[in-house]
Amino acid sequence: MAVHSHSATWTRRRFAQVSSLTAGALSLPGLSLPAAPADIAIEIAPYTVEASPKHHFRTVAYNGQVPGPLLRMRERQAQTVEIRNRTSDPEVVHWHGLHLPSEIDGAVEEGTPLISPGSSTSYTLVPEPAGFRWFHTHTFAGKNLTRAQYGGLHGFLLIEPRDHPGRYDREIFLGLHDWGGHFMGGDDGYMNPVYDVTTINGKMLGYGDPIQVQSGERVLMHVLNSSPTEVHWIALAGHSFRVVALDGNEVPQPQTVSMLRLAPAERVSAIVEMNQPGVWILGEVRKHVQATGMGVVIEYANATGTPVWTQPEELVWNYSQFAAAGHAPSTPPETASIELVFDSKFQGHGNEELWRINGQSYPQIESPALEAGRRYRLVMKNESLDDHPMHLHRHTFEVRRVDGSPELRGLRKDVVLVRSGGTAEVEFVADNPGKTLFHCHQQDHMDRGFMMVFHYA
Ligand SMILES: [Cu+2]
């Protein structure tokens, strides 16, 4: 009978909801039931990252590891989450790429409460959409290069689709990060972080375990750039990447490329055919960055020798190649356009600049109203000297135009890099009422006002 075939799933979901909402009501006289453990338990506590025996960074981490634990969830299957803060600073966990209510999305600017030192919070979240997501802190760092995103407080989240395509043999998760360093004034007078060490999954090249592969394997690599501020370029010597998803969303036109470019907070999922037995380096394409540690050894079974790197001659990447082919219809006439111009303004002393959207900086900035159900196009123009990875919370957008490109279709993302002097246009449907943060994902830029909050009318 149909009832029986669904009962297991139903019971599990029902249990998750009941245990989180009405645990107290379940206790019976004379029988004390222990509180049901949450599906996901996250503890934030002090931790030391050992990038190499000579490079230690005192920071905080999720569950005593950097990156934090890999979480796997089923699309739309409710999860109970418990987060304990064992640090001396308030914390908040942002679920990046998910469509959650503002109260648990994980941004104070949207109204998510901070978790004070020594306390904990619990809630139920319904994970969607399916794809490669992540979770990370969303606090202020200022000039402290051990805080917030500088401290590497992040983890991978894979939301499994209901029907798994499975065109690969196994998955590998790779997180790129930058550590240490100091702020340095450039020729333009801006203060930028300059890092001492770069890592993949918390280790410098040569100090982590090699990734063991078998000849003939198809490996799905999920790459996350969790860098607080830096764009990274990644190649695997001897191999190419078949890019199948950007920011966890399948692309209309998978492409085979020789390298990946990831702006802060971006993800690329790519299939690598392991068909060149040997010992290879997967690493940052730019030599001076790879020299600070960003790389990992890929080792075929029974292969030996010094890891091989081949230096690409130029940096190549563009979003457009992954969009749908053919003539794209122009944007529907009922789409409302919101123009956003980015620039910066010096405060006048101490070389402190404020980042601005339409001449305003958070929190002294207008909060545009969205009408539920309506389609919007954000027309972004970057008049500053930096590139900016722009992130929209709680919604997925479609990249419709980058710089002078034709109209694009089917490229669903949650971060888009808007180049210095360039433009980007993205569209989304206002389908998730609540305060919605829109900001540059570079920690130093968001700390200096590069944020705005949309609200629903
Ligand atoms: Cu920025």
pLDDT for 188 equals 61
Architecture per CATH, domain 170-317, reads as Sandwich (2.60)
- Quote the ligand 1 centre to 204 CA distance (angstroms): 26
- Quote the ligand 1 centre to 105 CA distance (angstroms): 21
139-142 own/partner pairs: CB under 8 Å, 24+ apart: 139/89, 139/90, 139/91, 139/92, 139/108, 140/447, 141/228, 141/443, 141/444, 141/447, 142/447
Please say whether the beta carbons of 355 and 342 come within 8 A.
yes
Whether 2-160 shares its CATH topology with 170-317 is answered yes
Domain boundaries, the chain: 2-160, 170-317, 336-454
Architecture per CATH, domain 336-454, reads as Sandwich (2.60)
- Quote the ligand 1 centre to 443 CA distance (angstroms): 8
- Quote the ligand 1 centre to 345 CA distance (angstroms): 13
Cβ neighbours around 296 below 10 Å, total = 26
- Quote the ligand 1 centre to 52 CA distance (angstroms): 30
Residue 205, token pair as written in the block: 């090249």
Q: Which residues contact 202 (CB under 8 A, 6 or more apart)?
A: 49, 50, 51, 65, 66, 67, 152, 175, 177, 208
Neighbours of ion ligand 1 (CB under 5 A): 388, 440, 442, 445
- Quote the ligand 1 centre to 351 CA distance (angstroms): 17
Strands 232-236 and 375-382: unpaired
In CATH, what number does 2-160 get?
A: 2.60.40.420
pLDDT for 407 equals 92
Q: Tens digit of pLDDT per residue, the chain (457 long)?
A: 333 333 333 333 333 333 333 333 344 444 555 667 899 999 999 999 999 999 999 999 999 999 999 999 999 999 999 999 999 999 999 999 999 999 999 999 999 999 999 999 999 999 999 999 999 999 999 989 999 999 999 999 999 987 665 678 999 999 999 998 888 876 666 778 999 999 999 999 999 999 999 999 999 999 999 999 999 999 999 999 999 999 999 999 999 999 999 999 999 999 999 999 999 999 999 999 999 999 999 999 999 999 999 999 999 999 999 999 766 666 677 899 999 999 998 776 655 789 999 999 999 999 999 999 999 999 999 999 999 999 999 999 999 999 989 999 999 999 999 999 999 999 999 999 999 999 999 999 999 999 999 999 9
